[in-house]
Amino acid sequence: MSSPVPEPELRGFPPLGRCRVMGIVNVTPDSFSDGGRFYDTDKAIARGLTLAAEGADLVDVGGESTRPGAQRIDVAEELRRVRPVVRALAADGVAVSIDTMRAEVAAAAVDAGAVLVNDVSGGQADPGLPAFVAEAGVPYVLMHWRGHSADMQKRAEYADVVADVRRELLAQFEAVLARGVAADQVVLDPGIGFAKLPHHDWELLAQLDVFTALGRPVLVGASKKKFLGRLLEAPDGTPREPDGRRTATDAVTALAAAAGVWGVRVHDGEANLDAVRVATRWRQAAASRPAHPGGDRIALRGLRVFGRHGVFERERLDGQPFVVDVVLDVDTAPAARADDLTLTVDYGGLADRLAAVVAGEPVNLVETVAERLAEVCLATAGVRAVTVTVHKPQAPVRHEFGDVAVTIVRSAGAGEVTHIHE
């Protein structure tokens, strides 16, 4: 389970401390999961209000089905479906996102009060859409996409689905940046079920960390999709119907939220919000677990050494203080029994070796310094694991701040611990 990292900034969405729940309202006669149920304007509005009342942070309104094989509708029809729903929900104080691939629909929806544009084509279906998003400055969900739904499943071929989707999504991201969209407007989405077979969806979900590591918020739309129907198929191979995929969806929500995604796009509010609450608490507990459970520890804290690390020329010329904390996982019992320094870590000698790294060859990143210090610690006889924190209290930050620090945890691989007695 990955530990919490600060939420990447998304314009207009201050950090919430948990995964967001985006409730779905498909104002369509033919979406796979709720086909027709909310096609009527009043029913769609009522559904959006219910989702918001259940705790959905956003309500995503879409007028065009993107289920595999779906044909496109014309822009006038899409506008007719979504505009009154967006307007009514926004007027009622609901945060609305518009699920569209068209600039004209996005513009009308933003005009009617939508606060986010969700583009499953990730800027590829209508070049005017990223241009509109750039000009309006609205947050923008950019999804991995290989082509329109009518024949997208023909394109579900990957050498390595995670690497391929990551690369293509980054290319789409760069393309919208080139059209003037700012990085802090963008949420990335791996596009579960879009030009993907069930095993592709599972691989993407199991490696969400690859996407959260891109430094942008990540949205996952797995709700009731076909890969869950396949997982839950009957003994005769009949896939479970969408309505029977609710609990499995809640489970995916919990796991995705625990993996640190920014949001999940789901058909039901309450149960998914409960799942998010479980994941949030789980992540908090994981973050506070000790790095070296149960073992003996030797700590050396506040080792202050002058160094020249940093990306700026001034940092290389002038240098600045770095402060190092290390906590070593060591078995101290043999040294204690014999009362013998040679059987434990000599922290004086270790401090000299750590100081030499900090004062030595300048590198760009505090992360690199921390990694080198961890290597020195793990090369010290008896050290099984180490937590290294490198503080840079005078880092070039244009605001008053307390500290900048990088903490890493590293352990020796099996059989790699150097024994003190050898």
Q: Specify whether the CB–CB gap between 1 and 286 falls below 8 A.
A: yes
C-alpha separations of 94 from 18, 40, 110, 218, 254 in Å: 19, 19, 13, 22, 24
Classify each residue of 313-329 as buried b or exposed e, where b means 16 or more C-beta atoms within 10 Å of its C-beta: eebeeebbebbbbbbbb
Smallest distance from ligand PMM to CB 260, Å: 17
Question: Alpha-carbon distance 188 to 220, whole Å?
Answer: 9
Based on the residue annotation, tell me whether 265 is a catalytic residue of this protein.
Answer: yes
Smallest distance from ligand PMM to CB 43, Å: 16
Tell me whether residue 103 or residue 343 sits nearer to ligand PMM (CB atom): 103
DSSP 236: T
Smallest distance from ligand PMM to CB 289, Å: 32
Q: Specify whether the CB–CB gap between 65 and 145 falls below 8 A.
A: no
Active-site pick, 20, 166, 216, 225: 225
Cα-Cα end-to-end distance for the chain: 36
CA nearest to 390, candidates 377, 410, 371 = 371
Smallest distance from ligand PMM to CB 266, Å: 9
Active-site pick, 146, 265, 283, 392: 265
Question: Alpha-carbon distance 365 to 33, whole Å?
Answer: 48
Q: What angle do CA 101, 262, 240 make, to 5 degrees?
A: 70
Smallest distance from ligand PMM to CB 247, Å: 17
Tell me whether residue 140 or residue 322 sits nearer to ligand PMM (CB atom): 140
Region at 359 (left for phi over 0; alpha for psi -120 to 50; beta for the rest): alpha
Tell me whether residue 221 or residue 229 sits nearer to ligand PMM (CB atom): 221
Tell me whether residue 223 or residue 344 sits nearer to ligand PMM (CB atom): 223
Question: Alpha-carbon distance 59 to 269, whole Å?
Answer: 10
Smallest distance from ligand PMM to CB 361, Å: 45
- Angle of helix 75-91 relative to helix 41-53, nearest 10 degrees, comes to 40
Tell me whether residue 66 or residue 207 sits nearer to ligand PMM (CB atom): 66
Nearest residue to ligand PMM by CB is 221
DSSP per position, 119-168:
ETTTT-S-THHHHHHHHHT--EEEE---S-GGGGGGG---SSHHHHHHHH
Task: Point out which residues bind ligand PMM (CB under 6 A).
Answer: 24, 26, 31-33, 66-67, 99, 118, 120, 141, 143, 189, 191-192, 219, 221, 223, 265
Positions marked catalytic: 225, 265
